[in-house]
Structure 1
Amino acid sequence: MYKLQAEMVPQERMHKLYCDHHGWLEGVLRRKLGNRDDAADLAQDTFERVLRTPAQVALREPRGYLRAVAINLMRNRYRRAALERAYLEALAARPELTAPSPETQRLLMEALEAVHAVLDGMPERTRRIFLMAQMDGMPYKAIAAELDITVNVVQKAVVRGLQHCYQAVYA
């Protein structure tokens, strides 16, 4: 079992973690992504995220931790790319609209990412019911019938969804 020494200062621990595991992590990511440059970028982002982690504690399984951080970052990249594609497709479908400036596009993408992150934090069932009610404008009875649940369950899920959104914005 590999263990970073607890008595080392955080900077030394991070240096050792990087030296001991960077090549391994980049190799794992290269196999997953099939692209050396993207793997190198993601490995750097992983170590940057670990460095910014407030609790610089000794890790019992550093490779498992690094892999988990890297996989989460990779998922975030894929989600962001999918969100950006959907935004650009929606923009292309409305040729009568003047394309927003690059700055406005960037702000819109950041807003979409924030909304996506909030929705992604909801349990799957709550998110589905919440989106059916809020985005599709479906009546609670129709949602209940489609999902084979009671109207009371729909009401409670929408309330939980609204509470989740409120906490994400104002907490």
Structure 2
Amino acid sequence: MQRLSTSVGHPPAALSTPHQAVHALYHLHHGWLQGWLRRQLGCSHDAADIAQDVFMRLLARQNPVEPREPRAFLSTIARGLVIERWRRRELERAWLETLAALPEAEAPTTESRLIFLETLTEIDRMLDGLKPAVRTAFLLAQLDGLTCPQIAQQLGVSLATVERHIAKALRACYTLRYGH
């Protein structure tokens, strides 16, 4: 992120109110956040990337950001981004292992590999956004091939609840695919 600065350390007057708040947070806490991330991750490059991503995420928000505990607020966002990064790396590792097990003639092109990995990442993000019960019901149906009555029995909930959970997950998939 390009550091916003003025001679006295105040945000430029041309910045909108939400951007002024982010500028103030950046100015006061970026160094601390990057150092905190470096200690957590043991890698200054990852720490710098994630610190930048935190502030980029804040800039993308519609509403002004003025937390009472700015460091706790920033570290919470950073933790989420660290988890996303670890999950993405785990997905990449699993995908590369899958590719390595394929016969060379069946291996997808480099472009197809990247598209598939991005799709997996989007699906993972969508699943993570579901309530745990909804996600569990959906995964039991999709990955384990269980029927709704079997899922209801396994989870100890009603058949109608399982059907609502799966419908909610399918709507999330539809939204992911078609954006509606």
Provide Cα deviations, 1:137-166, integer angstroms capped at 9, x if missing partner.
Answer: 222232233333333332232222223333
Asked if residue 135 in structure 1 is aligned to residue 143 in structure 2, the reply is yes
Q: 1:164 to 1:45 in 2, by over 3 A?
A: closer
The equivalent residue for 1:98 is 106
* Alpha-carbon shift at residue 6 of structure 1 (Å): 10
The equivalent residue for 1:85 is 93
Alpha-carbon RMSD across the aligned residues, in angstroms, is 2.6
| Aligned 8 A contact 2:11 2:20 in 1 | no
In 2, Cα distance between equivalents of 1:67 and 1:104: 35
| Aligned 8 A contact 1:6 1:58 in 2 | no
How many residues align structurally?
Answer: 167
Asked if residue 64 in structure 1 is aligned to residue 72 in structure 2, the reply is yes
SS at match of 1:82: helix
Aligned residues: percent identity? 41
| Aligned 8 A contact 1:42 1:74 in 2 | yes
In 2, Cα distance between equivalents of 1:81 and 1:73: 12
The equivalent residue for 2:161 is 153
Provide Cα deviations, 1:106-137, integer angstroms capped at 9, x if missing partner.
Answer: 11111111111221111111111112112322
Match of 1:47 among 41, 44, 55: 55
Q: 1:155 to 1:19 in 2, by over 3 A?
A: closer
| Aligned 8 A contact 1:126 1:161 in 2 | yes
User: Structure 2 stretches of 5 or more lacking a match?
Assistant: 1-9
| Aligned 8 A contact 1:46 1:69 in 2 | yes
User: Structure 1 stretches of 5 or more lacking a match?
Assistant: none
Return the TM-score normalized by structure 2.
Answer: 0.77
The equivalent residue for 2:179 is 170
